[in-house]
C-alpha cells in the first residue's frame, strides 16, 4: 500500500501536534465563537416540535421509571403488579429535607418538578432563601435563572445532605430476585 | 493594599497515580466493563431515518473544533461522541436536532471530566445561537435518561497510559507519543466505522499507529522481542489480525483526512486570493478534518 508509507516518512517536524493546542489557544484567545467553529450545521431548529419531543421523552422516561420500580410516580401509589413491595412511612419519620418532595397527583409534569423543591417552614433552621442545593430536583426552567453560577458553599445550616433515594420514602423489599443484567443501555 | 488572585488560569490536575496505572487489575477491569458502554446498534441501518453517516461526521468535526478551541481535556471529545452514539442507537433523531444533541453531549462530557466545564451559553454561541441554553438544559435531561445516567463510560483515552507503560519506549518520546495517540483517538471518534469498536482496540491501534508513524518501531528491532503488534495485542487481549486491521484502518483514515485537509487549505488559499466574494464557498466548508490532525506535518 503506497499510501501507508506517508505515515512512515522520516520527519523532522513531527512535533507539529505538540503545540497545536497552545497555538490554537493563542490564535483564538478567549473570544468565543469568532472563529469558524461557530456555525449552524443543519439549519433552523423547529422549536415547537422540539418542545413536543422533549415532553414526550420525559413522559417516556417517567413511564419507564414507573415500570422499573413498580411505582406510579404520578398518582404516588405502588403499582399492583410489581417486583417490589412498598411500605409507606409517615412523613414525620423521614428527614426534613425530603418531606415536601412527595409528588402529588393531578399536577402537570412541569409544575411537579418545579415545586419539588423543599421549603421547610417554622423549624427554626436557617435555610437559604432560594434553595441552591445540588440535590434538590429542579426543573430546567428554574435552573436557567441561575445557571452557570457555582453554588455558594453554605456552612452550618445544620442539615446533613445526602443523595435522595427512593428508599428514603418507602422501604423496598425485593420480591423477585431475577433482574436482567444491566448493560450500558 | 491590592490583592491579586493569581490562580485564575491554572487548571489543577491530579498527578498520574501509580497505584492505578501500575496495577494490572485496573486494566483488566477496564477491559471487562468497556463493552457495556458501546452503542448497541449500527444505527444508520435501522433506528435513524433522517440522518446519514456524513452528518455524524459533520457534527463530530464541529464538536472537535469546539473542544479544541475551548481547550477541553482530551477525553471530553471521545466521551461526548460515546454519548452521541449511544443516544442515536436508541432514539430516532432529526437532522435539525443533531447539533443540539452534539452540544448536549459535550456539555455532559465536559461536566464529568473537567474542573471548569463548558457553559451552556458558550455551547449555544458555538451553534451560532441556533439553540438556546434553555433547550440545551432540557435535552440534557432527556439524554441523561436515555443513557440511563451511565456517564462514566470507558473511552480509548483510559487505556493510553496502561498500554504505553507496558512498552519499551524511550522516555524522551513519551509525551510526543501520547499526543499522537490522542490525535488518532480523536480522529477515530469522528469516523463512524470505529463507533462499534471496543475502546481498548482503538487505543491499541492508535498506539501502534503512533509508534509506527514516528518510526520508533524500526529504530531497534531487537528491543521489541515480539513484533510491536504482538506485544500490543497481548496487552489488551486483542486478536493480532483484528488489531492489525484496526491499525491499518486508522492509518488509512489519517491519510484521507490529511488529503482533505490539504485540499481544503488550497481552497482557502484560492479563496483568499479571490477576496471576500467567495463567501458562498466558505459556508459550504464542512471542515471535515480534525484541526489537530491537519497540523500533523508528515
Please write the tens of the pLDDT for every residue from B158-215.
999 999 999 989 999 999 999 999 999 999 999 999 999 999 999 999 999 999 988 8
Tell me the shortest Cα–Cα distance from B146 to chain A, in angstroms. 8
Query: Which residue in chain A is spatially nearest to B251 when comparing CA positions?
Result: A4
Task: Determine contact: B32 vs chain A, CB below 8 A.
Answer: no
Q: Looking at residues A105-123, what average pLDDT do you find?
A: 39
Cβ separation of A8 and B212 shorter than 8 Å?
yes
CA atoms of B233 and B242, how far apart (whole Å): 9
Its ipTM equals 0.76
**Which one of A2, A15, A16, A137 makes the best mutation probe of the B interface by having the most chain B beta carbons within 10 Å?**
A16
- Lowest-confidence segment of A5-9, A31-35, A142-146, A158-162 by average pLDDT: A5-9
Q: Looking at residues B245-262, what average pLDDT do you find?
A: 91
Q: How confident is the model at residue A136 (pLDDT cuts 50, 70, 90)?
A: very low
HEC assignment per residue over B258-294: HHHHHHHHHHHHHHHHHCHHHHHHHHHCCCCCCHHHH
Tell me the shortest Cα–Cα distance from B212 to chain A, in angstroms. 7
Q: How confident is the model at residue B265 (pLDDT cuts 50, 70, 90)?
A: confident
**Count of CA atoms in the C-beta half-sphere (13 A) of A114:** 10
Please write the tens of the pLDDT for every residue from B1-20.
666 666 566 777 888 898 99
Cβ separation of B252 and A39 shorter than 8 Å?
no
Query: Which residue in chain A is spatially nearest to B252 when comparing CA positions?
Result: A4
Cβ separation of B126 and A4 shorter than 8 Å?
no
pLDDT for residue B4? 66
- Lowest-confidence segment of A78-82, A104-108, A159-163 by average pLDDT: A104-108
Bridge partners for A85 per DSSP: A173
Closest partner CB to B298 (pick from A9, A20, A39): A9
Tell me the shortest Cα–Cα distance from B238 to chain A, in angstroms. 21
CA-closest candidate to residue B195, choices B73, B31, B41: B41
Please write the tens of the pLDDT for every residue from A152-180.
444 444 455 566 666 666 665 555 545 55
Q: Scan residues 217-276 of B and list those with Cβ closer than 8 Å to A.
A: 248, 251-252, 254-255, 258
Whether the Cβ atoms of residue B249 and residue B209 lie closer than 8 Å to each other:
no
Kindly list the domain boundaries of chain B, sorted by start residue.
Answer: 38-146, 157-294
Burial of residue B85 (number of CB atoms within 10 Å: 0-12, 13-18, 19+): buried
HEC assignment per residue over chain A: CCHHHHHHCCCCCHHHHCCHHHHHHHHHCCCCCCCCCCCCCCCCCCHHHHHHHHHHHHHHHHHHHHHHHCEECCCCEECCCCCEEEEECCHHHCCHHHHHHCCCCCCCHHHHHHCCCCCCCCCCCCCCCCCCCCCCCCCHHHHHHCCCCCCCCCCCCCCCCCCCCHHHCEEEEECCCCCCCCCCC
**Cell 486491521 -> residue:** B245
Q: Looking at residues B104-133, what average pLDDT do you find?
A: 96
Question: What percent of chain B stands above pLDDT 70?
Answer: 85
Q: State the architecture of B157-294 in CATH terms.
A: Orthogonal Bundle (1.10)
Query: Helices B228-235 and B240-274 meet at what angle, rounded to 10?
Result: 110
- Residue B173 per-residue DSSP state: G
Tell me the shortest Cα–Cα distance from B13 to chain A, in angstroms. 17
- Lowest-confidence segment of B131-135, B220-224, B266-270 by average pLDDT: B220-224
What is the average pLDDT value for chain A, to the nearest integer? 61
CATH 1.10.472.10 given to domain B38-146 = yes
Query: Helices B240-274 and B174-190 meet at what angle, rounded to 10?
Result: 80
Cβ separation of A6 and B255 shorter than 8 Å?
yes
A115 pLDDT more than 50: no
Cβ separation of B146 and A57 shorter than 8 Å?
yes
Helix H or strand E segment including B229: helix B228-235
Cβ separation of B296 and A21 shorter than 8 Å?
no
DSSP 3-state of B89: coil
Amino acid at each position: 500500500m503506497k499510501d501507508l508509507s506517508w505515515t512512515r516518512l522520516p520527519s523532522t517536524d513531527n512535533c507539529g501536534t505538540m503545540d497545536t493546542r497552545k497555538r490554537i489557544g493563542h490564535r483564538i484567545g478567549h473570544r468565543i465563537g469568532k472563529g469558524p467553529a461557530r456555525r449552524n450545521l443543519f439549519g433552523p431548529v423547529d422549536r415547537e416540535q422540539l418542545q413536543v419531543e422533549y415532553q414526550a421523552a420525559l413522559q417516556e422516561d417517567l413511564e419507564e421509571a414507573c415500570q422499573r420500580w413498580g411505582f406510579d410516580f404520578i398518582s404516588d401509589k405502588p403499582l399492583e403488579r410489581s417486583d417490589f413491595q412498598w411500605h409507606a412511612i409517615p412523613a414525620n419519620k423521614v428527614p426534613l429535607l425530603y418531606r415536601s418532595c412527595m409528588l402529588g397527583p393531578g399536577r402537570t409534569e412541569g409544575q411537579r418538578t418545579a415545586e419539588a423543591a423543599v421549603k421547610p417552614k417554622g423549624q427554626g433552621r436557617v435555610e437559604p432563601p432560594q434553595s441552591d442545593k445540588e440535590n434538590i430536583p429542579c426543573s430546567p426552567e428554574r435552573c436557567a435563572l441561575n445557571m452557570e453560577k457555582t453554588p455558594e458553599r453554605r456552612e452550618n445550616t445544620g442539615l446533613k445532605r445526602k443523595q435522595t433515594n427512593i428508599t428514603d420514602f418507602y422501604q423496598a423489599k425485593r420480591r423477585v430476585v431475577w433482574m436482567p443484567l444491566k448493560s450500558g443501555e | 493594599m491590592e490583592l491579586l488572585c493569581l490562580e485564575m488560569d491554572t487548571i489543577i490536575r491530579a498527578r498520574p497515580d501509580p497505584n492505578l496505572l501500575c496495577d494490572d487489575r485496573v486494566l483488566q477491569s477496564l477491559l471487562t466493563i468497556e463493552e457495556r458502554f458501546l452503542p448497541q446498534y449500527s444505527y444508520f441501518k435501522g433506528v435513524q431515518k433522517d440522518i446519514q453517516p456524513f452528518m455524524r461526521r459533520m457534527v463530530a468535526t464541529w464538536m472537535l473544533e469546539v473542544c479544541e478551541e475551548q481547550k477541553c481535556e482530551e477525553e471530553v471529545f471521545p466521551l461526548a461522541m460515546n454519548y452521541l452514539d449511544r443516544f442515536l442507537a436508541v432514539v430516532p433523531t432529526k437532522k435539525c436536532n443533531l447539533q443540539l444533541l452534539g452540544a448536549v453531549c459535550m456539555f455532559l462530557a465536559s461536566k464529568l471530566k473537567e474542573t471548569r466545564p463548558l457553559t451552556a451559553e458558550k455551547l449555544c454561541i458555538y451553534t451560532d445561537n441556533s439553540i438556546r441554553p434553555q433547550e440545551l438544559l432540557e435535552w440534557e435531561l432527556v439524554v441523561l435518561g436515555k443513557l440511563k445516567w451511565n456517564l462514566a463510560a470507558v473511552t480509548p483515552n483510559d487505556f493510553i497510559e496502561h498500554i504505553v507503560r507496558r512498552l519499551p519506549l524511550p522516555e524522551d518520546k513519551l509525551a510526543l507519543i501520547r499526543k499522537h495517540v490522542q490525535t488518532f483517538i480523536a480522529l477515530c471518534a469522528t469516523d463512524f466505522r470505529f463507533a462499534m469498536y471496543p475502546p481498548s482496540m482503538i487505543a491499541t491501534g492508535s498506539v501502534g499507529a503512533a509508534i509506527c508513524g514516528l518510526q520508533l518501531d524500526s529504530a531497534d528491532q531487537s528491543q521489541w522481542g515480539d513484533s510491536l503488534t504482538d506485544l500490543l495485542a497481548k496487552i489488551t487481549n486483542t486478536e493480532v489480525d483484528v488489531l492489525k486491521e484496526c491499525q491499518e484502518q486508522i492509518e488509512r483514515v489519517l491519510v484521507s483526512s490529511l488529503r482533505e485537509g490539504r485540499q481544503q487549505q488550497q481552497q482557502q488559499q484560492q479563496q483568499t486570493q479571490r477576496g471576500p466574494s467567495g463567501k458562498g464557498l466558505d459556508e459550504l466548508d464542512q471542515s471535515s478534518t480534525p484541526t489537530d490532525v491537519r497540523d500533523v506535518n508528515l
